[in-house]
Amino acid sequence: MAEHKSPERQEELCTVKACGKAAERSISTDAASEAGLDIMEGARRAHLCKDHYKEYKKRSKKDRKLDSLGH
């Protein structure tokens, strides 16, 4: 996979199923699935478009809040 190292930043697409927009951020797939995002199977990193990154942040924040409320 690392055979082609182009100096230009290759545009990654959002790894969320049925999205396909240009990705802006990448996070670990674990973090993404914890946030409830439907990541394509076999992906090593979860690349998120602007919208899904926002959703990820929102959800992970909410989870934390719910978690602390639950205890």
| Chain residues in the site for Zn ion (CB under 5 A) | 14, 16, 19, 21, 49, 52
Q: Which lies closer to Zn ion via its Cβ, residue 39 or residue 63? A: 39
Closer residue to Zn ion, CB minimum distance, 38 or 66: 38
For Zn ion, the closer of residues 17 and 65 by Cβ is: 17
In three-state secondary structure terms, 31 is helix
In terms of Cα–Cα distance, which of 63, 10, 71, 1 is closest to 32?
Answer: 63
Which of these, 30, 29, 32, 28, lies nearest to 52 by C-alpha position? Answer: 32
- What's the closest the beta carbon of residue 31 comes to Zn ion, in angstroms? 15
